[in-house]
Structure 1
Amino acid sequence: MEITATAGPGPRQAVVTLHGELDIHTARDVRETLIATVAVYEDTVADLTGLDFCDGAGIGVLVATRNAARRHGHHLHVRNIPGYLQLLLRATHTHLADTSPSPPDRAHIGVPENTDAATPTCEPPPGQL
């Protein structure tokens, strides 16, 4: 797991980018970095663009970080959530603050690349908010 934390773009903002696998083996280091960041910065972005895998321990890290941010009166924004993780979060009724998903990844949800089947999404049906 590679964790990159950078300050900015604003004076009270930080971006933490994760690359690799967020699982039982890497959760402690990621948790320490994220919780330390949300304690200092009012707005923290967790960018999951490079996240290859996330298990229950990883989801626990994201929830703990969200809770820590709220305790400090700060905000956690999770962006570029891989499709497989969007589906897992939805299936487990896990809500992360201020999330902005990326399109579901066909390879992680068992839909062949060369198919005309509709891609599942995490969006509610029209008119059901």
Structure 2
Amino acid sequence: MSGRPGTEACPVMEVLDHVAGKWSIGILVAAGRGPVRFTELERVVTGISRRVLTLNLRRLERDGLLDRTVYPTVPPRVEYSLTPLADELHVTLSGLVDWAERHGTAVAAARAAHDASATGRRG
């Protein structure tokens, strides 16, 4: 531990930023269902561009969360799968995704009600 307050939080925030990023959750949840190919990830992670998917895959591989396996076929077949480190994370992320699916409507309704009452307070 260093004597400076807040220095311990920096690595935690960096890791959280990587695993909770806009695209990372979808990629990790999809890869947790078994080895997945690039084109499958493109279909499952709605709205992501090829370039952004590539950058996120490289970053998650660098972080030790994805394994990239290249098979010597023509054309080469590449699959992505979770590392043992990411297996534990997958449980948490899947729970988060399930929660969001179950409560997304309630959150949207609460947001709309809040915005309506905030508009009434301004006038």
Give TM-score, length-normalised by structure 1.
0.25
Q: Say which one has the larger Rg.
A: 2
Q: Per residue, is there more strand in 1 or in 2?
A: 1
Of structures 1 and 2, the one with the larger relative CO (CA 8 A, separation 6+) is 2
Give TM-score, length-normalised by structure 2.
0.25
